[in-house]
Structure 1
Amino acid sequence: MARTDVRRTPSGTPPKPSRPGPGKRSGGFGRFVRRLFAWGAAAALAVVLALAVAVGVAASSLPSFSALKSQQEGQMIVVRARDGSELVSLGPSYGKWIPVGQIPREMKLAMISVEDRRYYDHFGVDPVGIARSLFVRAQSGRWRQGGSTITQQLARNVFLNNNRTFARKAREAILAIALETKFSKDEILELYLNKVYFGGGAYGIDSASRKFFGHPGTELTLPEAAIIAGLVKAPSRYSPTADAEAAVKRAKVVLETMQDAGSITAGEADGVDFAKVRFAAEQGQNSVRYFTDWALPQLDLLVPENSEPIEVWTTLDPAMQHAATDAVARNAPKGAQGAMVSIDRDGAVLAMVGGTDYVTSNYNRAVNAVRQPGSAWKLFVYLAAIEAGYKPDDAVVDEPVTINGWSPHNDGRNYAGKIDVRTAFAYSKNTVAAQLGNEVGFGTVAAMARRLGISTPINTMPSMVLGTSDVRLIDMTRSFAAVSAKGMAVEPYGITKVATTDGRVLYEHKPVPGQQVLQPFVAAAMTDLLQTAVNIGTGRAAQIGRPVAGKTGTTSSNKDGWFIGFSSGITTGVWMGRDDAKPIPGLMGGTAPARAFAQYMRQATARRPAENFDTELVLPDWQLEPDDEARTGSPEDYYYVDEQGNLIDPARNEAPKGPLADSQRGRLEDNGQPLPPNGAPPAANDDFLDQATGRRGRGQ
C-alpha cells in the first residue's frame, strides 16, 4: 500500500492551502482598468475622427462668405388683386448690409453679452455654456438657459430649422464647428448681425433699426442697441411696435447683462434714458390687410410645404375695396366699429372690411367677431315657413302672443292685426315671426340656418326667432347669397391662383357647382319678401335706384346694427357696433348700416346691368296635383321628419322600420331634412299636414 506524502507543520498539523497574494489580485484589476481605458480611448478617438471627417465635409460644402451674404431667408409673397395689380408684398425685409467694422460697438457688445458671452473663447460649440444650461435645468426643473452659441444660431438660421430634436442639434453643432474653421469670428458676427430675425419681417440690424427707429443701423445708440438685442429671444413679444413698454423692460435686462459681462460700466448703464428713445411711427396699412389676413392662411391648405417666393392672385377688387372702406368709415357712428363683406354670385369675395382702421385695430370683425343678428335672422324663420307651405300673400295676424312664458313685442309695441306674410316681413313684425317659428318648430329654423352656412352654435329657445344666437357677418352674408343664387349654396373664397415668380402654377381655383340648399320656388318667395322690405319696409335707406333685396337687423338697446342684401349678383353684409357691446344711441339696421350698404352698392354695381329679381312663385309639379291624386296610396308608406330631425311614421307616431325606412335614412342631410326621390317632399295625410302647417289655426 502506497504512502501519501503529507507535509506537516512543526506542530504536526497539515499546512493550509495557499491563497493568491495582494499582488496577484491588484494585477488582474489593473489589467481590466487598462483595457477599459484603452477601449475608451479608442472609442473617443473614433468619435473625434468621425467628428473631424463630418466637420471637414461640412466645411468643404459651405458656401463662400459672399454667397452667404447674398442668401436670404424667409418666403416673399406678392398678393395681387383680381385685375393683376399688386395689393401688398409680404415677407422678409432686408436693409443694407453693414460690414463688421461699421457696426456700432454698442450693438456688437449688446448682442454678444446677451446671446453668447463666451463668443471669442469657444470653437463654435461652448461646453461651458452647455454645462451651465444643464445645471440650471437640474436645479429649476425646466430649461431656463440656452446653450446655443451665436455660431450655432447662425447655422440654424441659415441651414436648418427650429425642430427640437437631437438629430437637428447634432447637425447644428457640426455646422457651427465647420463655420468656425472656415470663417473668422468677425466674419461670423457680421453674418449673424446682418441675418438674424428681429420681428415684423425685419432681418438684420439695419432693417430693424429703420423699422423701429427710422434711421440706418450704423447710427444705433446704446439704448437702441439694447432694445434690438433683446428682440432675438422673442421678436413678437418684445416688438416696440406691438408693446413699447415690454421692449424697454427687456432692454433693461440686456443692459444689466452687459454690465455683468463687463461690456459697459455701471455709470454707462445708469446713464441710459429710455424716455429719450424715439420709436418710428408704424407705416400706414390700408384695409386690404383685413382681406389678406383672412385669405393668406388658406395657403397652408392650397399649397402645403411650399417655401418658394410666390405670387397670389385674389378675388379682391381694388375699386370695390376702396368704396367699402369709405362707406364704413363715413357711416359708422362715433365710437363704433364697422365691418363689411361683399360676395359675387360665385362666392368670390370682392371686398372685405374688418374695422374702421387696420392700424388702430387689426381684429377682423367681418370674419371673427360673433354678434347677435337681430331681425336679420328672420331670413331663416321665413324660409322655414315658406318650405312648410306659406306664401307671401297668405294671411297672418300681428297680435300679442306668449310662447312658453315668452312674450315678444314689436318695435313701438303696436300691432297691425290681420296682414299678409309679405307685410309682416317688410315691417319686421316680431310677433308674427314668433308665431311662424313656433308653428314650424324652432329646431326647423335652426336646421335652416345651419343648412345655409351658419357655423356658430344656435339655440332653440323661442326667442331665437329674433336673432339671439351669435353669428359671424361672413356667414350671414353667404346665407343671403344662397337666396340670391336661387337656392344654390355659396362658398366664399379669396384666392384664384398661386404661382411661383417664374410663372409655374401651383394652384388654380376651379368652379365647383354649389349644392341646392333651397328649392327655387322657396328662394323666389323669399326674394319677394326681401325686396319688399327694401321698397316699403325697414330697409328703405338701402335703395340704390335698381332692384335691391335685403333685411335689417337691430339688437336690444341698439348694441348692433345690420343690413344684408343683394343686387345685380352682388351680396353685401354690413355690421356696426362697439367691441365692448355697449349701446349706441340711434343705431338701427335701417340707419347707418343700410346707408353704408347703399353707398357701397351704388359703386359696386355701377358697371353691371340692373337685374330684375325672379319672384314669381312657380310651384313644382308635385304641389300642383289634384288633391284626390295626392291622397292616393297608403299612409303607412310615408313618413316625415320632426324638428329634431327624427324619422316619424304618422300612422304609428313612431320611427318607421323596414327597407323603405332604411333607404330613406340614407338620404337624410345633416340638417335633418329628407331628400325624397325627384326632389319632392315626403307625403303625409291631411290631418298631419293641417297640424304641421297650421292651416286650422289660420282658418283654412
Structure 2
Amino acid sequence: MQLSGRLVAAGRFIAGCLSALTTGFLVTGLLFGVPYLTLTPLLDDFSLAALDPPNNRTLILLDRDDKPFARRGGCVAEPVKYAEIPKHFVDALVSMEDRRFFMHPGIDPIGLLRAAQANRAAGHIVQGGSTLTQQLIKNAYLSSERTFERKEKEAWMALALELRLSKEEIFERYVSSAYFGEGCFGLRAAAKRYFNTPVSKLTVPQSAYLVALLKSPTGLRQDPEKAKERANLVMEAMVETHALGIKERDKLKPVLPEIASTSSDGGYYADWVASTIRLPKDGSYAPVRVHTTFDPKLQKLAEHAVDSVLSKQGESRKASQAAMVVMRTDGRVLAMVGGTNYDESQFNRAVQAARQPGSSFKLFVYLAGLRAGLTPESTLVDQPIKIGNYEPKNFGHRFRGPVSMRQAFASSINTVAVQISEAVGRKPVIDAARDLGVTAKLQATPSIALGVYEVPLLEMTSAYAAAASGAYPVKRGALPASARRMTISFRPKAPANGGWSSRTSSGSFCAPTSPAAPVMAPGSRSQRTARPAPARIIAMPGSSALPAIWSSASGSAMTTFRR
C-alpha cells in the first residue's frame, strides 16, 4: 500500500478510536475487557490467505454420451476485483449491511452502542453490530458463538485488518468469500449460478436479490416470496441512503432467478461417483469434468423396474423401499437406484445399506465346492441335517434325496448348500466371497451358507458380474476399469455345452451357454487378462430378501427393504 493510503487508514483508525472513547463503550468493552497484549499475536500474525474464497471446485459428471447429468461439489469462481463490481451492487450491500463502511476504521461505534444497549436489555448477545470487516474476520478466523470474548477479538482484529488492507480490498474479499446459497461462494459464482451473467452486468434488482440472500441463503432460496420481500427492503435501504432515486425505485421490481431444477435422475449414481473422486487442489477454480458410464435410458428403466416391483409386491412383502444396480460384467455401473425418491431421501440403499443376501450368497458356496474338486455332476443328498443347534430347512419343508450339484444349485436347496460349506470348510466359502469382491463382515458359522450376514447390494452385484465374466475381482466403478484381472478357469468333467447350462421349471437359474462365457469347474486359477463376456444369466438364486434380475447385456440386482 502506498504511504498516502497508510496515512488515510491510520487516520480512520485514530478517528474511530476517538469516537469510540466518547461513547465509553470501547473503554469498558474492549480496552478493559480483554488485555491488548493477549491479542497482539492475532493483530500482527494472522494470515491474509484465510480471507481467500473457498476452493471447493465444481464436479460436473458426464454420461456415456458426454452429456452433463449432475453437478456435485462447490459452486465457486475466481475472486472478483472491486473495479468490476457495479456501483449499484456496492451501494446495495453497504446500504443494507454497513452504511458507514467507507467511514469507520473497521468497527462502527454507533452500531456497537446500539447493539450494546439491546444486548444489555436482553442479558445476552442478541445483536452484533458487526461491520462488513468484522463479518469477514468472523467468517475467516473465529467461531460463530455469540460471546462477549469473541466479539472483542473480532473488533480488535477488524481494526488491525483495516490497517493492512484498503476499503476496496476488504470489500472485494468479503463479496468473494460470502455464501449466497445453492453451494455458491463468492459474488462471481452467484451471478453465474442465479442469473447466468458476469458480475459487471448485474442489474439493480439482481444485485438487490443477491444482497438479500446474505441474510439467510438457504431459507430465502426455499421461500421465493420472502426473498422478494427482502430484496424490496434492500432497494428501500438504497433509497434511504440516496443511492437510488424514488422514481427509479418505483420502476424496479424484485427478480427471482430462473434456475432449471436439477434432475433427480441419477442422483444416487452421482452421489456415489462423487464420493469416489478426489478433486485436484491446484488453486484453480475451473470446474472438473468427469466422464462416466452412466446410461440415462437404463436409469429410467431401472427406476421403472423398482417402482413396478414395489407396486406389485411391496405390500405383500412389507417393503417400502427398493434398490437396484445395473452393472456390466467388467464392473462398470450403468445405472443405480438407491431408493424410491431421491428428492425425499438421499440415503443410497444400493451402497450404504446392507441386507441379508439369502440364497444369492450360495454362489460362493458352490464356487468353494468347485475349487475343492466337486463337479456339476457330483451327487449330494438333500436330507435333514443338524449341526449343533443349527438345523437348516428347505423352502416347502421337503427333501429330494440324491441330487446332482447342478440340480441343487438350480433349485437353491438349502441343506445341500450347508453340506457343501461344511465339507469344504467355511473359510474357503469366505475366501470365495472375498475373491469376488465382498468386503462385508462375514463369520464362519454354519448359517453362512444361506446368506445370513448382511452385504451391500453393490458388492453382491459385482460378485455376480465376476461370475458372469469369468474374471475377478471386478473393480466396480463408473470410470474406466483396469484390464488386469484373474480368470476363473475351472475345467469340469461336464458336457461340452457348459457345466452350468441348467434350467428348472421355475426358471430360477440359467447359466452361461455362449461359447464366449466361461465354464466353471474344478481346477486352478490362471493369471491372465480376460475380456469380459456378455452375461447370459437370466436370474440368480434369491430369496424374498434379495431378488435379483439380470439382463443379457449387463447384470443388475435389486433388493427390497422392509418397512
Say whether the fold is shared (TM-score over 0.5): yes
Which letter does structure 2 place at the counterpart of 1:290?
A: Y
Work out the CA distance in 1 between the residues paired with 2:181 and 2:491. 55
**In 1, are the aligned partners of 2:133 and 2:158 still within 8 Å (CA)?**
no
Q: Which runs of 5+ in 2 are unaligned?
A: 1-36, 78-83, 113-124, 144-154, 197-201, 234-255, 315-319, 514-533
**In 2, are the aligned partners of 1:125 and 1:176 still within 8 Å (CA)?**
no
1:576 maps to what in 2? 559
Which letter does structure 2 place at the counterpart of 1:326?
A: H
Work out the CA distance in 2 between the residues paired with 1:227 and 1:73. 24
TM-superposed CA distance for 1:162, in Å, is 7.0
Which letter does structure 1 place at the counterpart of 2:340?
A: T
**In 2, are the aligned partners of 1:427 and 1:537 still within 8 Å (CA)?**
no
2:548 maps to what in 1? 563
* The one of 325, 331, 355 aligned to 2:339: 355
Work out the CA distance in 2 between the residues paired with 1:72 and 1:402. 63
Which letter does structure 2 place at the counterpart of 1:372?
A: Q
* The one of 532, 543, 546 aligned to 2:502: 532
Work out the CA distance in 2 between the residues paired with 1:523 and 1:151. 81
2:530 maps to what in 1? none
The aligned runs of 1:295-444 (5 Å cut-off) are 295-300=273-278, 303=280, 305=282, 307-309=284-286, 310-333=288-311, 336-444=320-428
TM-superposed CA distance for 1:199, in Å, is 3.3
Work out the CA distance in 1 between the residues paired with 2:56 and 2:452. 45
1:201 maps to what in 2? 183
Work out the CA distance in 2 between the residues paired with 1:279 and 1:522. 66
**In 2, are the aligned partners of 1:534 and 1:548 still within 8 Å (CA)?**
no
TM-superposed CA distance for 1:92, in Å, is 1.9
Work out the CA distance in 2 between the residues paired with 1:128 and 1:521. 88
TM-superposed CA distance for 1:98, in Å, is 9.0
Q: Which runs of 5+ in 1 are unaligned?
A: 1-43, 63-67, 131-142, 256-277, 497-508, 583-700
Question: C-alpha deviations, 1:308-357, integer Å up to 9, x for none?
Answer: 42221112233333332333233333663222222223322222222222
Work out the CA distance in 2 between the residues paired with 1:451 and 1:320. 28
Pair 1:536–1:448, CA change in 2 (3 A): same
Which letter does structure 1 place at the counterpart of 2:266?
A: V
2:272 maps to what in 1? 294
Equivalent residue of 2:491, what SS?
A: helix
The aligned runs of 1:200-219 (5 Å cut-off) are 200-202=182-184
**In 2, are the aligned partners of 1:78 and 1:89 still within 8 Å (CA)?**
yes
The answer to whether structure 1 residue 77 and structure 2 residue 47 are counterparts is no
TM-superposed CA distance for 1:453, in Å, is 1.1
2:454 maps to what in 1? 470
Equivalent residue of 1:77, what SS?
A: strand
Work out the CA distance in 1 between the residues paired with 2:370 and 2:403. 16
Equivalent residue of 1:469, what SS?
A: coil
The aligned runs of 1:533-548 (5 Å cut-off) are 536-539=506-509, 547-548=536-537
Work out the CA distance in 1 between the residues paired with 2:111 and 2:504. 72
Which letter does structure 2 place at the counterpart of 1:467?
A: G
Which letter does structure 1 place at the counterpart of 2:464?
A: F
**In 2, are the aligned partners of 1:347 and 1:490 still within 8 Å (CA)?**
yes
TM-superposed CA distance for 1:551, in Å, is 1.2
Equivalent residue of 1:401, what SS?
A: coil
TM-superposed CA distance for 1:446, in Å, is 1.8
Work out the CA distance in 1 between the residues paired with 2:203 and 2:395. 63
Pair 1:423–1:534, CA change in 2 (3 A): closer
Work out the CA distance in 2 between the residues paired with 1:512 and 1:148. 59
The aligned runs of 1:430-509 (5 Å cut-off) are 430-496=414-480
TM-superposed CA distance for 1:74, in Å, is 5.2
Pair 1:424–1:394, CA change in 2 (3 A): same
2:31 maps to what in 1? none
TM-superposed CA distance for 1:80, in Å, is 1.5
Which letter does structure 2 place at the counterpart of 1:291?
A: Y
Pair 1:72–1:469, CA change in 2 (3 A): closer
Question: C-alpha deviations, 1:395-441, integer Å up to 9, x for none?
Answer: 11112221111111111112212211111111111111121122222
TM-superposed CA distance for 1:182, in Å, is 4.0
* The one of 530, 541, 553 aligned to 2:542: 553
Which letter does structure 2 place at the counterpart of 1:391?
A: T
Which letter does structure 1 place at the counterpart of 2:491?
A: F
The aligned runs of 1:266-285 (5 Å cut-off) are 283-285=261-263
Work out the CA distance in 2 between the residues paired with 1:152 and 1:524. 80
From the CA coordinates, give the structure whose radius of gyration is larger. 1
Pair 1:146–1:377, CA change in 2 (3 A): farther
Question: C-alpha deviations, 1:259-308, integer Å up to 9, x for none?
Answer: xxxxxxxxxxxxxxxxxxx999993523322222111233317x455644
**In 2, are the aligned partners of 1:427 and 1:533 still within 8 Å (CA)?**
no
TM-superposed CA distance for 1:170, in Å, is 11
Pair 1:370–1:462, CA change in 2 (3 A): same
Pair 1:78–1:104, CA change in 2 (3 A): same
Equivalent residue of 2:324, what SS?
A: strand
Which letter does structure 1 place at the counterpart of 2:382?
A: D
Pair 1:567–1:448, CA change in 2 (3 A): same
TM-superposed CA distance for 1:476, in Å, is 0.7
Equivalent residue of 1:320, what SS?
A: helix
TM-superposed CA distance for 1:381, in Å, is 1.0
The answer to whether structure 1 residue 92 and structure 2 residue 75 are counterparts is yes
Pair 1:446–1:547, CA change in 2 (3 A): closer
Work out the CA distance in 1 between the residues paired with 2:195 and 2:492. 59
**In 1, are the aligned partners of 2:509 and 2:537 still within 8 Å (CA)?**
no
Equivalent residue of 2:335, what SS?
A: strand
Work out the CA distance in 1 between the residues paired with 2:367 and 2:215. 58
1:514 maps to what in 2? 485
Work out the CA distance in 1 between the residues paired with 2:550 and 2:493. 14
Pair 1:486–1:546, CA change in 2 (3 A): closer
TM-superposed CA distance for 1:73, in Å, is 6.7
**In 1, are the aligned partners of 2:181 and 2:213 still within 8 Å (CA)?**
no
* TM-score normalized by the length of structure 2: 0.61
TM-superposed CA distance for 1:466, in Å, is 1.1
Which letter does structure 2 place at the counterpart of 1:378?
A: K
The aligned runs of 1:107-256 (5 Å cut-off) are 112=97, 122-124=104-106, 149-151=131-133, 154=136, 177-182=163-168, 188=171, 192=174, 196-202=178-184, 228-231=213-216
Work out the CA distance in 2 between the residues paired with 1:72 and 1:576. 40
Question: C-alpha deviations, 1:438-489, integer Å up to 9, x for none?
Answer: 2222232122212221111112221221111111111111111222232431
The aligned runs of 1:596-615 (5 Å cut-off) are none
